[in-house]
Amino acid sequence: MAETHHFDAASLFSMKGHVAVITGGGTGIGLMATQALSQNGAKVYITGRRMDALENAAKKHQPKDGTGGEIIPIGPCDVTKKDDLETLVADIQKKEKYITLLMVNAGITGPKTKPDEDDADDLKKKLWENESVADWQEAFETLVTGVYFTTVAFLPLLQAAIQPKGPQEKFGASVITTSSMSGIMRDAQGHFAYNTAKGATVHLTKLMSSEFLRASIRVNSIAPGYFPSELTDPTHESDDRQKSNFPQKKIQQYNHVPNERPGREEEMGMTVLYLARNEYVNGEIIAVDGGVLNVVPGR
């Protein structure tokens, strides 16, 4: 039975001894997760397509001395390429016997076309001419296919973490996918390809959580609302610390965010720590959206 001191937050959410891998870990939500995990003791490998961004993120955001955590850039890796994923796994296997957490976070925006024409001919023309099959395929390859094969590639390293530490104790192994509130709502937001792909990410998460039970690997998803990242920043870039901005005035224009502000980076970090440490949560889609899904129709 738990004594009161067992509920100390530093103990509940300690990541000491844990090893994490985060795709798209050099910017945006991936970097927020990286900071939260490493500051609480985890060794975090971050990967992506741009080594300069990964190396800069690691340089600028190493945790304070004494935490035991570390941020390590590795790659580059394109999650849509199986050869890249196999190389990434092999490189990490040379350094680690196991990983306890995989966060599959790499993402792209896809094409954007607002379906705001009343006349069907005009609507067809706008959607038909502004989007391509290649655009849709690229979105699905990154946001769905890439999520699946990244997870599959790391299954052995994840299962290797499940070893007895003591009587009735284990190191859990889990996967966190980054889906989106956009994959749960009925509003296309002009992002038909992105929102459809994120909906598929949501369902893929549920499928993997069920099918990977026999391997004792948990799979959950974070469905973010509006957080600062290169995908949401008007400039689509990061600053010299790999951070992005989400203007307050942009939120005010939307009129569907009850909290009336973007999500704070620390709030994303709290969610990552919760899913990483709570081994009684499996197959859940956690929306961190400021209440948007209370306003915008969901599915």
For 188, other C-beta atoms within 10 Å of its C-beta total 16
Residue 208 has pLDDT above 60, yes or no: yes
- Name the active-site residue from 98, 194, 209, 226: 194
Annotated active-site residue 98? The verdict is no
Whether the per-residue pLDDT at 254 is higher than 90: the answer is no
CATH number at 92 reads 3.40.50.720
Domain membership flag for residue 3? no
**pLDDT in the model for residue 243:** 94
Q: pLDDT at residue 232 above 90?
A: no
Q: Is residue 58 part of a domain?
A: yes
- Once rounded to an integer, what is the mean pLDDT over residues 186-198? 95
Residues 100 and 20: beta-carbon distance below 8 Å: yes
Residue 41: DSSP 8-state: T
Residue 276 located in a structural domain: yes
> Does the pLDDT of residue 168 top 60, yes or no?
no
Residue 271 lies in a domain: yes
Residue among 179, 209, 221, 238 flagged as catalytic: 179
Q: What percentage of residues in the chain have a pLDDT greater than 90?
A: 87
Q: Over the stretch 111-157, which tens digit does the pLDDT of each residue have?
A: 999 999 999 999 999 999 999 999 999 999 999 999 999 999 999 99
The number of beta carbons lying within 10 Å of the beta carbon of residue 105 is 28
- Is residue 166 domain-resident? yes
Mean pLDDT of all residues in 259-274:
97
66-75, 169-178, 236-245 — most confident range = 66-75
Give the residue from 162, 205, 185, 154 showing the smallest Cα distance to 296.
185
- Rounded to the nearest integer, the mean pLDDT of the chain is 94
Write down the pLDDT at residue 229: 92
Q: Tell me what pLDDT residue 174 has.
A: 97
Given 174, 198, 229, 238, which residue is catalytic?
A: 198
Of 67, 66, 9, 12, nearest in space to 41 by CA: 67
114 noted as active-site residue: no
> Residue 67 is part of which domain span?
8-294
Active site residue 182: no
d(CA 194, CA 267): 24
- pLDDT of res. 283: 98
What does the pLDDT read at residue 165? 58
Question: How many domains in the chain?
Answer: 1
Instruction: With respect to residue 1, please indicate whether it lies within any of the assigned structural domains.
Output: no
Q: Please report how many Cα atoms fall inside a 13 Å half-sphere around the Cα of residue 87, on the Cβ side.
A: 13
What is the mean predicted confidence (pLDDT) over 2-8?
Answer: 95
Q: What is the pLDDT of residue 170?
A: 59
Q: Is residue 2 part of a domain?
A: no
299 within some domain: no
